[in-house]
A = this chain, B = another copy of it.
Amino acid sequence: MTKTHKKYLLGIDIGATNVKAGIVSAKGELLHQTSFPTNVRDGKDAVIHTITEQVRHFCAHHGIHADELIAAGIGAPGPLDYKTGILYFAPNLPGWHNVQLARIFTQKLKTDTFLENDANCAAWGEHWTGAAVDAQSFVMYTLGTGIGGGIIIENRILHGRDGAAAELGHVIVVPDGEACGCGSRGCLEAYASAPAIVRRYKSALRWEVGISATILEQSISAEEIVTKATEGDIFCKKIIEGTGKYLGRSIAGILNIFNPEMVIIGGGVSNAGPILFEPIKNEVNKLALEIARRKINITQAKLGTFAGVIGAAGCALTRLEISA
């Protein structure tokens, strides 16, 4: 078997709800993709077993052998050590402590496997084949159940001493504001994550409109609020505009700190379009230094929900090249 047979990368994005995986070309094309439930309640060992089995079946189904794989990349919620491939812990993966993910997957998948923070993977994916292919330095926000951050400086991921850099969801936008899951108050995540958008929607309904408790108990998702806003619902529009304002406040600070080329926003809520992006830009124009904002490009991510998979594969390729 010569080295020329190695032509595929494997990307795996381990989320608290679903695992996504994909076969990615060395140029960053997503050739095949799959996703399956994480079932975190089954416990760490069972989950890891399921992932490796599912990924093996997925590869076999597409006629890809382990020895055709250049490398595999895993994106996981941090904090983790990308160098040693150890996941220290993950708030949404109970029981996962100091898991040697890279080593375990290298053995089970029979290909060199590298670990990286999931939000960093998404940013790296956008850098490789998405919205940031032309940028050397940019900042990415991923709006979901939490708010992930990825910071690329001169084509390198900013990791920080403990791999805990770019926690953009935990930058304070309202001092002494809403309680955040991290234990602090007023974090961006407490205002612009999907659950925070739902909370703000319900709270606004309660106080501004005086809606009854029954209606408030009906469940609505952030995605539905975004859809309604884009369809013209004035109330939902105000909630998303407010989300943009909080985001813009945070981004203004980030521009003054990094003076980046771009800011990219991904995750379901970024589909709101101008309803989200206009207030972001207004806030940035009001709050950021002129030199830091005048050329700034604030734009939606391009790769969608498989950005993390593509980026995990890309990180693995880059790390393999560095270590070679």
Contacts and interface: CB of A to CB of B under 8 A. Distances in A.
A286 B166 CA distance: 19
B167 A292 contact: yes
B175 A258 contact: no
A257 to B, nearest CB: 6
B287 A162 contact: no
A257 B251 CA distance: 12
Contacts of A288: 170, 184
Contacts of A286: 184
A259 B165 contact: yes
Interface stretch (A69-77, A92-100, A153-161, A313-321): A153-161
A265 to B, nearest CB: 17
B171 A256 contact: yes
Of the candidates A153, A163, A249, the one having the most CB atoms from chain B within 10 angstroms of its own CB is A153
Interface residues of A, number: 45
A77 B191 CA distance: 36
Given A137-B161, A161-B137, A295-B161, A257 B171 contact: yes
Contact of A182 (B175, B184, B185, B289): B289
A179 interface: no
Contact of A259 (B163, B168, B184, B260): B163
Interface string A75-94: 00001000000001000000
Nearest to A262: B161
A258 B160 contact: yes
B162 A259 contact: yes
Contact of A161 (B164, B254, B261): B261
Interface in A124-171: 137, 149, 151, 153, 158-168, 170-171
Contacts of A151: 257
Nearest to A294: B162
Interface string A57-74: 000000000000000000
A153 B166 CA distance: 13
A291 interface: yes
B137 A257 contact: no
B287 A172 contact: yes
